[in-house]
Amino acid sequence: MIEIKNLVKRYGKKLAVNGISFTVNKGEVLGFLGPNGAGKSTTMNIITGYLSSTSGSVVINGHDILEEPELAKKSIGYLPELPPLYLDMTVIEYLDFMCDIKGVSKKDRAPQLARIMSLVKIVDVGDRLIKNLSKGYKQRVGIAQAMIGNPEILILDEPTVGLDPNQIREIRKLIRHLAQNHTIIISSHILSEIQAVCDRVVIINKGKVAAIDTIGDLSTRLNEAKKILVAFKGDEKLVCNLLRAIPGVENVYLRESRSADIKQVEVSVMSENDVRSSIFYTMAKANSPILEMRELDASLEEIFLSITKEA
């Protein structure tokens, strides 16, 4: 659906993007991550046609963004970090204006706007001035304008920035629904949101691709040792010593616990070893009932910090 090859962008002597290549598959939700100054915004602006590259290519649904910009851009709906809203228009007036810009025919306009407004839940504010809307509703109007023209690809830059937890949950639910019929690229500094909705992530740093993979596979690559969380009742010093004696266990760390009665330890194990049954029998002999036992995957935040630090 999107194919990016050897993308380079120079600003004078500064190399903002340095040979970035990746693809986005049809129907995929891709997280696009990078620290400030990594070249993330520049890359997204090139993908959407707002900037031209110094060299390299971006092909959108079979159309080169520079050679066939009109055909390529027809496949893209874009929500910038600051939604491009006209605050003195009502929601209906603004979306109708966006239909004019995107060339939506008069006969198709009413049913398309009705469907989009219903989907993003802004029907009840259609006659209100945009400047009087809350941040969450403004963000929804921004997503609505990106959907006009039925683009196959949605590119969302910081779609949940500045929203409260309830609004973030609503936007997350909307993105999951949109993913049923669209290919989506999401850029965000809220890594928990990326982890919740994305199939794969691309992490860039210093203008280059630092990692491309699913979050699960990146976590596996990051951790040579797997970690198991064990919550239990009993003597923590005794339990730690017994667990350290199990073959295959590298180390045991006592975690802070919210309850005086319930203790937690983190058991570090080399990835080829499965010590869960040994942990169970060891805890049983120590008369320390297990209340919880589960593997701990590295969070996207840990993966991001590790990869960008290494790069």
Q: Which sequence spans correspond to the domains of the chain?
A: 2-219, 224-296
When comparing pLDDT for 68 and 1, which is higher?
68
**Mean pLDDT in residue range 183-189:** 90
**56: its two tokens:** 């390299």
Q: pTM of the predicted model, to two decimals? A: 0.78
- The yes-or-no verdict on residue 222 having pLDDT over 70 is no
**110: its two tokens:** 């009413």
- Same fold across 2-219 and 224-296: no
Cα separation, 239 vs 132, in Å, equals: 59
**Secondary structure of residue 250 in the 3-state scheme:** strand
What is the per-residue pLDDT for 259? 77
Domain formed by 2-219, architecture = 3-Layer(aba) Sandwich (3.40)
* Angstrom distances, CA of residue 271 to CA of 225, 237, 249, 250, 308: 5, 25, 10, 10, 24
- The yes-or-no verdict on residue 162 having pLDDT over 60 is yes
- Report for 88-92, 209-213, 235-239: range of highest mean pLDDT: 88-92
Which class does domain 224-296 fall in?
alpha beta
- The yes-or-no verdict on residue 89 having pLDDT over 70 is yes
